[in-house]
């Protein structure tokens, strides 16, 4: 049986930060099987790895860079945030690959899924973390499903930096990577996970049409270099604008089928641009076809909060009175301080945590502000952007 332990802190010294989290989460008995770490980009990731391995020598260490964390203690978005989730118990499997990108995401994910299956054939849910820049996230899902099938729930996130869109990091055991992916496969038959995501943005104006594309690389929009056309619609200078400039204001929206829109509470699913090239090519987070139409969006503050409440009501109704033994959580970095002041951000987090809490105390909770989120939609594993995605783990 797998048990979960979490803690978070804001501390400048990376080793002391991890020591504080491990003490708070595990007390004097630090023996565990996996330690998952989310850490803001101000930290020394190698020092984090080394300290976890010193404190829990037998544990696998997995982690990612992020733009802030959410734990059972609350939310923080400083450059020095650290949060952990320690897993103790069997059966678990861990796998990872390096060098994953938009062109090889499917093959790399098949490879990783094969590692998981070989280590533990009874896996029924997968926590997945990939590089947040230059990757085909829909192909990652397809690769994992090619081995495990679509009934295995995939949940997780993509790593981020401090919204610059320059580089993000992944940690695996004793190494730090820039273009890696890792996964934890859960084969505990007493556990099940319920996932859902919501964003609360609305599509506006006339769409942009993709007129030249190669996989995840959008080369032209409306017959013009994609970056120039995209930034022109945003009122930004293409020559000087960065991906970080576009992220808070430049969510791109794809129209959803009617039945999915009803479940999602929104007629569109959103996408973020996290890399662009000098010739104007933009890197999209999923594969896209010529002729696809992409809308710009505007945030609807009231809708963001009301959609959060609707999602939590749906999740608690499905739980049937049960409370989760742990929660993993991925939030778009643009939904943090770049959209809300501190009071509103804490209110949003409170609305997601309170319904899952016992006597006002949240369960072990590991949340991050990243570049993207994985959660089910229409019964299918789906990649999202600009959402709050909740992954509540229940004991059957």
Report the domain count for the chain: 2
3-class DSSP state of 202: strand
Share of the chain above pLDDT 70, in %: 97
CB 202 within 8 A of CB 298: yes
What is the bridge-based pairing of β-strands 60-66 and 170-172?
A: antiparallel
pLDDT of amino acid 334: 73
Shared-domain flag, residues 360 and 240 = no
Does the structure show a pLDDT above 70 at 230?
yes
pLDDT of amino acid 53: 97
For the question of whether the overall pTM of this predicted structure is more than 0.75, the answer is yes
Q: Give the residue from 250, 267, 299 where a domain finishes.
A: 299
CA 184/CA 173 separation, integer angstroms: 13
Shared-domain flag, residues 142 and 275 = no
Q: Give the residue from 249, 282, 299 where a domain finishes.
A: 299
The pLDDT of 355-361, averaged and rounded, is 95
The pLDDT of 64-83, averaged and rounded, is 92
CB 231 within 8 A of CB 241: yes
pLDDT of amino acid 57: 96
3-class DSSP state of 157: strand
pLDDT of amino acid 58: 92
Does the structure show a pLDDT above 90 at 386?
yes
My answer on whether omega of the bond before 91 falls inside 30° of 0, hence cis, is: yes
Shared-domain flag, residues 10 and 38 = yes
Does the structure show a pLDDT above 80 at 339?
no
Q: Among 57-66, 335-344, 381-390, which is the least confidently predicted range?
A: 335-344
CA 135/CA 287 separation, integer angstroms: 9
Tokens found for residue 249: 């204001």
| Band of pLDDT at residue 337, cut at 50, 70 and 90 | low
Q: Which domain covers residue 82, as residue numbers?
A: 3-198+304-395
Average pLDDT, rounded, for the chain:
94
Beta-bridge partner residues of 210: 221
Residue 287 exposure: Cα atoms within 13 Å on the Cβ side? 14
Residue 174 backbone phi and psi in degrees, to 5: -110, 15
Does the structure show a pLDDT above 90 at 161?
no
| Band of pLDDT at residue 380, cut at 50, 70 and 90 | very high
| Band of pLDDT at residue 86, cut at 50, 70 and 90 | very high
Shared-domain flag, residues 242 and 186 = no
Beta-bridge partner residues of 330: 368, 389
pLDDT of amino acid 340: 56
For 255-308, how does the pLDDT look when each residue is reduced to its tens digit (9 = 90+)? 999 999 999 999 999 999 989 999 999 999 999 999 999 999 998 888 989 999
Shared-domain flag, residues 194 and 206 = no
Shared-domain flag, residues 175 and 108 = yes
Shared-domain flag, residues 242 and 381 = no
Shared-domain flag, residues 164 and 260 = no
Shared-domain flag, residues 206 and 250 = yes
Shared-domain flag, residues 227 and 356 = no
3-class DSSP state of 289: coil
Shared-domain flag, residues 220 and 188 = no
DSSP-derived secondary structure letter, 326? E
Does the structure show a pLDDT above 60 at 40?
yes
Does the structure show a pLDDT above 90 at 322?
yes
Does the structure show a pLDDT above 60 at 338?
no
pLDDT of amino acid 342: 53
The pLDDT of 29-42, averaged and rounded, is 96
Q: Give the residue from 299, 328, 363 where a domain finishes.
A: 299
Shared-domain flag, residues 75 and 209 = no
What lies within 8 Å, CB to CB, of 24 at 6+ separation is: 7, 9
């Amino acid at each position: 049986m797998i048990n979960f332990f979490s803690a978070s802190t804001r501390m400048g010294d990376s080793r002391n930060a991890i020591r504080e989290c491990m003490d708070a989460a595990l007390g004097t008995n630090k023996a565990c099987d996996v330690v998952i770490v989310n850490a803001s980009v101000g930290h020394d990731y190698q020092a984090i790895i080394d300290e976890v391995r010193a404190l829990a020598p037998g544990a696998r260490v997995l982690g990612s860079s992020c733009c802030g964390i959410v734990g059972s203690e609350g939310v923080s978005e400083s450059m020095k945030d650290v949060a952990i989730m320690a897993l103790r118990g069997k059966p678990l499997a861990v796998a990872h690959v390096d060098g994953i990108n938009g062109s090889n995401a499917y093959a790399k994910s098949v490879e990783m899924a094969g590692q998981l299956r070989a280590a533990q054939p009874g896996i029924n849910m997968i926590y997945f973390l990939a590089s947040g820049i230059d990757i085909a996230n829909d192909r990652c899902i397809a690769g994992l499903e090619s081995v495990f099938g679509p009934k295995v729930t995939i949940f997780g996130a993509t790593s981020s930096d401090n919204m610059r869109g320059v580089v993000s990091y992944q940690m695996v055991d004793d190494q730090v990577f820039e273009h890696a992916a890792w996964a934890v496969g859960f084969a505990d038959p007493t556990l099940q996970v319920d996932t859902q995501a919501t964003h609360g943005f609305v599509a506006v104006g006339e769409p942009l049409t993709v007129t030249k594309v190669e996989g995840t690389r959008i080369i032209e929009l409306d017959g013009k270099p994609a970056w120039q056309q995209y930034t022109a619609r945003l009122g930004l200078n293409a020559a000087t604008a960065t991906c970080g400039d576009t992220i808070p204001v430049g969510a791109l929206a794809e129209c959803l089928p009617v039945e999915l829109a009803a479940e999602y509470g929104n007629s569109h699913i959103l996408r973020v641009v996290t890399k662009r090239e000098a010739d104007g090519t933009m890197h999209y987070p999923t594969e896209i076809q010529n002729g696809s139409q992409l809308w710009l969006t505007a945030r609807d503050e009231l809708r963001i909060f009301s959609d959060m409440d609707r999602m939590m009501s749906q999740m608690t109704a499905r739980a049937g009175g049960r409370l989760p033994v742990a929660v993993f959580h991925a939030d778009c970095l643009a939904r943090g301080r770049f959209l809300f002041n501190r009071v509103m951000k804490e209110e949003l987090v409170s609305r997601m945590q309170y319904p899952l809490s016992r006597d006002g105390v949240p369960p072990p909770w590991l949340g991050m502000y990243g570049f993207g989120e994985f959660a089910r939609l229409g019964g299918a594993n789906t990649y999202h952007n600009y959402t709050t995605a909740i992954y509540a783990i229940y004991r059957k």
